[in-house]
Structure 1
């Protein structure tokens, strides 16, 4: 009988891809099969996030639950970003944990598995050329890393301390991985990196030097690959060449994630984001002029230390002018080993909560107004998921989540869908071609 692996993933798409790598390595080299029943698992893993405080608190809460539910002899391992920055402290606080594996050390999973109380958290370890075995959660879409680590110095962000310096993955490896995914049925690839459009800045060896725009061109030449998505690009690196390729290349999905973080140039400077409110608005204006059908999503932090009422109003001003299609918004959360952790001009918690509510209410109003215009429109949808009650869901080119009545025969297929009903998170429609 095969051994059973239970794996819970917290956080971003890069964590999800790391989990796929872990599953592949454990399957090929150790004979593990995944299970959703934790009580039957021989190995229990949690792949963690440390971007905000809540996921860190959730880690130890989850570990306690896992320890109670695990069968006798089952091992528990902690992986990911929180593993990178807490290291041995995890085992001190939860002695039943068998090993800790950092976000930059995924390829060592089969090593630490056999070393009791192993702690592998070297953020300078280079996995950019490691040939992971192949496993994908979905046969219809392939997540592909184009870089590891981050060289930015945003004062609020712990990622450089958990994932190390930025190294680009050689283009030949990316193209080979994409080609293999297409041969196995995927029609869409999703490129991942902390700052994807900074691709090519540094490689670990002698490799062809290409930038992200050229990478997109090369990928789009793969026969059978119909859609290319990516996250997250950095506003600072959104030059005219990149925006032009995005708008003109028919294989690139017309959905852009542009992390604003704040609409105040003063706060952006304090965050060390490298751009101003004016630069961000200029890039959005340029993007929408080249590609009117584009949807734009963003990340926003409210109540960063020192943020005044006027500076918060700058963020609301950008919201009203851009009219984002989706926002991911949070109150500022101090993270260890960051510069902002030591900032003393903390915004009052009640004020922070009020600002977050105001921002989210505005975002809802904008979305509701946009959704009114969706009724009757027709979108080309790529179906990826079978839902309950005989619905199948997928996404349009500009990233709208759309469901229709149907069966698994639609999975992996493109269909034209006319929108018939509106919801805030998902639209409903009928297949018209």
Structure 2
């Protein structure tokens, strides 16, 4: 009789993929099957994020809740970036936790599971050649890691300290995984890495040197594959070759996540981002000249140490010029093990909150101005989700979330949809053919 696994995933798409790897390994080697009821689980896992302070705080409240509801004999494990960061301290603070598994050690899940109080958090561990068993959360699209770790030294970011140095996964392994996913029914692939367009900078061992643009070309040749998405590219590595491939390859979806972080060149220098406001706007201008309907999203941090009113206005200026379809915005919070955590020119909490509100209000104004331009447009939508309200939803090539009245018969299919209602978050339409 199979055992039950309950897993909660916090954070980014890379964590989602790590959770899929964990599920696959436990299913294959220990006969675990998924459950949505933590109270009946034999194993409860939390796959954590440490990019922001709040998910770390949430971890211990969640652990306490799970400890109260777990059945007798059930184990609790903590995985992911916070596991890498806190390690043994997690067990000290929550002694009922059975093991801790870092973000760079996913392949060791079968070992730590059977070793009580085990802590595996080596950020130099190399999993780039490890052949994980296969599990997909969705039959319609597939997440694929193309690299692990990060070589950037952004002064606000803890990721290099939790995921280690950047290593690219060999191109032939990526292509085989992509081919298998498409043969299994996925029509859309989502390539993942901390800086995907820096792919190929370093491999472990002797492997063919392939850059990201060439990898995109090779994957796009897979028969039956309709769409390729990826996240996150780094603005510093957006050379002309990459942008031209993005624009001209019909299988690459015309949406791009471009993490701005700040619109001030001064703040960007303090963040060690490697580019300026002018470079970022130049890349956007070139991209929009080649793909006028490209959809752009971004990350923005306000109230970074030393950010003046003028610096903040520079960020608002970039927002007005670019008109992002989506922003992920945060008030700066210092993270341990980062350079910026030692900066003393911090911004008052109230000023930071005001700036965040101002930025989000501007974003809503820009969305309200532009969203009505979408009325009557026709988009090809790939349907992935059956909703409880009688609708089926999916995404357009340029990443608009679109829903139509329909049933499960639409799932996994493409259809042209005419937009009849618009909103900041999603669009409503009707199938035209």
TM-score (norm 2): 1.00
Instruction: Describe the SS at the equivalent of 1:259.
Output: coil
Q: CA deviation at 1:362?
A: 0.4
Q: Give the corresponding residue for 1:121.
A: 121
Q: Give the corresponding residue for 1:254.
A: 254
Is 2:315 the counterpart of 1:296? no
Q: CA deviation at 1:127?
A: 0.3
Separation in structure 2 between the aligned mates of residue 142 and residue 126 of structure 1, nearest angstrom: 23
Separation in structure 2 between the aligned mates of residue 41 and residue 325 of structure 1, nearest angstrom: 40
Alignment of 1:90-169 (within 5 A): 90-169=90-169
Instruction: Describe the SS at the equivalent of 1:373.
Output: helix
Q: Give the corresponding residue for 2:244.
A: 244
Separation in structure 2 between the aligned mates of residue 317 and residue 199 of structure 1, nearest angstrom: 31
Separation in structure 1 between the aligned mates of residue 431 and residue 205 of structure 2, nearest angstrom: 49
Alignment of 1:26-425 (within 5 A): 26-425=26-425
Separation in structure 1 between the aligned mates of residue 395 and residue 316 of structure 2, nearest angstrom: 28
Separation in structure 2 between the aligned mates of residue 348 and residue 268 of structure 1, nearest angstrom: 20
1:252-302 CA-to-partner distances (Å, cap 9, x unmatched) read 000010000000000000000000000000000010011111011000000
Separation in structure 2 between the aligned mates of residue 426 and residue 218 of structure 1, nearest angstrom: 33
Separation in structure 2 between the aligned mates of residue 134 and residue 237 of structure 1, nearest angstrom: 31
Q: Which runs of 5+ in 1 are unaligned?
A: none
Separation in structure 1 between the aligned mates of residue 364 and residue 173 of structure 2, nearest angstrom: 41
Instruction: Describe the SS at the equivalent of 2:374.
Output: coil
Q: CA deviation at 1:120?
A: 0.1
1:37-83 CA-to-partner distances (Å, cap 9, x unmatched) read 11100000000000000000000000000000000100000000000
> How many residue pairs get matched?
433
Separation in structure 2 between the aligned mates of residue 168 and residue 260 of structure 1, nearest angstrom: 24
Is 2:432 the counterpart of 1:429? no
Q: CA deviation at 1:389?
A: 2.3
Separation in structure 1 between the aligned mates of residue 57 and residue 300 of structure 2, nearest angstrom: 22
RMSD: 0.4
1:315-368 CA-to-partner distances (Å, cap 9, x unmatched) read 000000011110000000100000000000000000000000000000011111
Separation in structure 1 between the aligned mates of residue 390 and residue 268 of structure 2, nearest angstrom: 46
Instruction: Describe the SS at the equivalent of 1:209.
Output: coil
1:190-209 CA-to-partner distances (Å, cap 9, x unmatched) read 00000000000000011110
Separation in structure 1 between the aligned mates of residue 344 and residue 369 of structure 2, nearest angstrom: 39
Instruction: Describe the SS at the equivalent of 1:127.
Output: coil
Instruction: Name the stretch that deviates more: 423-432 or 42-51.
Output: 423-432
Separation in structure 1 between the aligned mates of residue 276 and residue 387 of structure 2, nearest angstrom: 42
Q: CA deviation at 1:140?
A: 0.3
Q: CA deviation at 1:370?
A: 1.2
TM-score (norm 1): 1.00
Separation in structure 1 between the aligned mates of residue 174 and residue 21 of structure 2, nearest angstrom: 15
1:207-249 CA-to-partner distances (Å, cap 9, x unmatched) read 1101000000000000000100000000000000000000000
Q: Which runs of 5+ in 2 are unaligned?
A: none
Separation in structure 1 between the aligned mates of residue 227 and residue 422 of structure 2, nearest angstrom: 25
Instruction: Describe the SS at the equivalent of 2:142.
Output: strand
Separation in structure 2 between the aligned mates of residue 108 and residue 398 of structure 1, nearest angstrom: 38
